[in-house]
Structure 1
Amino acid sequence: MPRARSQQISLQDTPYYHCISRCVRRAFLCGEDPVSGKSFDHRRGWVEERLLFLASVFAIDICAYAVMSNHLHVVLHINAEKAAKWSTLEVLKRWHKLHKGTLFTQQYARGEPLPEFAMALVESSVEIFKTRLMDISWLMRELNEPIARQANFEDKCTGRFWEGRFKSQALLDEAALAACMAYVDLNPLRAKISQTPEDSEFTSVKKRVVAAKHQKQPKSLYPFVGNPRENMPDGLPFKLTDYLELVDMTGRIIREDKRGSIDASLLPILQRLNTSSENWLCIATEFGTRTGSVVGNEHSIAHYCESNRRQRKPYIGKASNCLPNKLLQSLFLSS
């Protein structure tokens, strides 16, 4: 039986989560319907635009995303520290970009004086709104519902467009985070709809590559800030150049349709994560089929299961065919 989202999210264990939403119709979310021949590729732009807009509203950062023909991948970071710094007015301005709020919150946002009882109601509403702006379920709801309405209007029909529940995976450590991000960024190559990462439309990796050419990072995405250190700024714990090189080299091997090998001496990120080049290929190409709802090293998973009162079970499947047991323990246990 599926667990409630509130029981799957544990900020004390990790702020990083991988979410997947799938379309339930024969007609694709995007791309070309093989039956009718009609193209829905423009809908990928709807999804990307809405997702990046929500990142500017929520206290949830976008680490990676890929909009595919009938599903969406997104790696999220819940930024509790950012939300804690928001004033009452900041919370209301953000929430009002999505919803009208209440009469009193609208008056407060306009700077109108309010009686004491009304201020109490405003403060109560702000606490609710702030909690929602840190909630992955609310972000996915605000993403999926408008897209479904647009698609229904375009298709001149009613009914469900997305599956009832989106899939969520907790990423407990840096190795799990890097593997999942690379897996998401390389989805178009695995699906053979693009030839290189930088040509993959509607993906975070293309947006990062375009910005990197101008020695910048996209403002709409969670930035890379380098390897962990003291007084580390807010951002992903990797070097941008290391990550892009890793994705590019992995993508070349996927594109050439062979297992190949990666020279780990050229990739500091693999050395720091203590992951061999051969095992990385299996992780990056088969992350989605070999992981469960929780991904991380053995210690992280044990701590997560203990703090969330969950029974620890190995999700091994066919992973043993290509991974040694040590790495299997470090990256492919779920509960």
Structure 2
Amino acid sequence: MPRNARFTLPHRPTVYHVISRTALSGLPLGDIEKNRLLEIIKYFSSIYFVDVLGFCIMGNHWHLAVKIYPRDYATRQEVQERFVKRYGEDVHFGDQEIEKFSKKWTDLSEFVREIKQTFSRYYNKRHNRRGFFWGERFKSMIVQEGSTLVNMLAYIDLNPIRAGIVKKPEDYRWSSLGYHVQTGNKDGFLSIDFGLKEWNEFDPQEIVRKYRQFVYETGAVDAGKGKTIDQKIVEKARKKGYKISRVERFRYRCRYFTDSGVIGGKDFVQEVFDQVKHLLGSKDKRKFTPVGGVEGVYSMKRLGES
């Protein structure tokens, strides 16, 4: 039976909600696998002409809200810069490459295919297996910007709440709200253009605060599909104006005090790292991660990502 054609709008920037499920039983995506899948999504979003608006990686599926830009946005200079990042400076780059990659890197199906194939190879190697990892082809739908988009983003971020995994959506670090709150949107990975002009906000922190408020108020409503955010938690957040306190930000960094490998001042971490990097098989210099909420303290490991 032939597949239905995928709905795309190739001639203008378009937002899509992508959903992909595994072919394996149970919950094959553990913490390590979720971390790796997120790294892969981040990498390819820096190669393709896309903005990532939201995501959530669950135990057996993942959601992605992404805005794809058409070929008109792929200038020769930008394509070349991304080509060098992907393949290095020694690989030939000419008119044929411009034509090929300006088309490829503005294509939703190619974007998702590379993410899924790269992760499948990683998973099979890690678990010493062969065969398919992903199920049927990914689902995608075109999403109108504005209120439809922000409701869809809230739906994505509320997945861990409906599943009963966490009590507050930002406690789940493999989701967009968790990434905003726990990492401060590290590397500018996520776009904060939710399309709600009526918010009339330009301060990124205030935009995220209003989005968090929207997610909480939406998540408190019983829609008959899974669990909701506890009303007491919502009331407590309301009293704080949905602002994340310094204490709360610090709490999200507490893993650094148990899993950082080396923690302390930047010079101290560098000194110790130089002495133990042979044990880690590392020959490169490393940029150490500042621990949010504690001035002047750094971690050897990048726990925001790993």
TM range (shorter): 0.5 to 0.7
Q: Distance in 1 between matches of 2:163 and 2:211?
A: 21
Q: Which residue in 2 is equivalent to 1:185?
A: 157
Matched with 1:249 is 217
Tell me, yes or no, if the aligned pair for 1:62 and 1:222 is still in contact at 8 Å.
yes
Whole-angstrom CA distance in 2 between matches of 1:159 and 1:18: 27
Tell me which of 166, 186, 189 is aligned to 1:220: 189
2:80 paired with 1:79: no
Quick one: distance in 2 between partners of 1:245 and 1:253?
A: 13
Q: 1:43 aligns with which of 29, 33, 46?
A: 33
**Which residue number corresponds to residue 265 of structure 2?**
none
Partner deviation per Cα, 1:17-54 (whole Å, 9 max, x = no partner): 00011000125331xxxxxxxxx321000111111121
Contact 2:19–2:63 under 8 Å retained in 1: yes
Q: Is the 8 A contact 1:18 1:76 kept in 2?
A: yes
CA distance in 1, matches of 2:85, 2:12: 31
Whether 2:50 is the aligned partner of 1:60: answer: yes
Confirm or deny: 8 A CA contact 1:14 1:172 kept in the other structure: no
Tell me the CA shift for residue 126 of structure 1. Answer: 0.8
The 1:153–1:159 alpha-carbon spacing in structure 2 relative to 1, beyond 3 Å, is: same
Does residue 92 (structure 1) correspond to residue 61 (structure 2)? The answer is no
CA distance in 1, matches of 2:86, 2:133: 21
CA distance in 1, matches of 2:160, 2:231: 17
Are the aligned partners of 2:168 and 2:229 in contact in 1 as well (CA < 8 Å)?
no
**Sequence identity (%):** 25
CA contact (8 A) 1:211 1:218 kept: no
SS in 2 for 1:134: coil
Aligned pair count reads 227
What is the deviation of 1:61? 0.9
Structure 1: any 5+ residue segments left out of the alignment?
31-39, 109-121, 267-335
Letter in structure 1 aligned against 2:189: S
Q: Which structure 2 residue ranges, 5 or more long, are not aligned?
A: 239-306
Contact residue 21 and residue 162 of structure 1 kept, 8 A: yes
Residue 259 of structure 1 deviates from its aligned partner by 9.9
Q: Tell me, what secondary structure is at the counterpart of 1:65?
A: strand
User: Where do 4+ consecutive residues of structure 1 move more than 6 Å?
Assistant: 257-260
SS at structure 2 position matched to 1:156? coil
Give the alignment's TM-score, normalised by structure 2: 0.64
Distance 1:240 1:82, change over 3 A: farther
Residues 173/242 of structure 1: CA separation in 2 closer, same or farther (3 Å cut) = same
66-75 or 50-59, which deviates more: 50-59
Residue 207 of structure 1 and its aligned partner are, at CA, apart by 1.3
TM-score by length of 1: 0.59
What's 1:331 paired with? none
Question: For residues 167-222 of structure 1, what are the alpha-carbon distances to aligned partners after superposition, in whole Å with 9 as ceiling and x for unaligned?
Answer: 0011134222112111001111111111101101211111112355xxx7860111
Alignment check: 8 A CA contact 2:53 2:65 kept: yes
Could you say if the C-alpha distance between residues 249 and 227 of structure 1 is closer, same or farther in structure 2, counting changes exceeding 3 Å? Answer: closer
Separation in 1, partners of 2:167, 2:21: 24
- Residue identity in the other structure for 1:26: S
Counterpart of 1:3?
4
Partner residue, 2:182: 210
Q: Distance in 2 between matches of 1:143 and 1:78?
A: 15
Contact 2:11 2:70 in 1 (8 A): no
Cα RMSD (Å): 3.5
- Partner SS state of residue 20, structure 1: strand
The secondary structure found in structure 2 opposite 1:56 is helix
Go from structure 1 to structure 2 and tell me whether the alpha carbon gap of 1:135 and 1:81 turns closer, same or farther (over 3 Å shift): closer
Cα distance between partner residues in 2 of 1:81 and 1:128? 11
Once the two structures are superposed, what CA deviation does each residue of 1:59-114 show, in whole Å capped at 9, x if it has no partner?
Answer: 11110000000001000101348834x334x313313444579x8xx244xxxxxx
1:108-155 deviation digits (Å, cap 9, x = unpaired):
4xxxxxxxxxxxxx2132122011111111111111111111111122
Q: Give the direction of change, closer, same or farther, for the CA distance of 1:133–1:247 in structure 2 (3 Å limit).
A: same
Contact conserved, 1:15 with 1:79, CA < 8 A, in 2?
yes
Q: Is the 8 A contact 1:14 1:170 kept in 2?
A: no
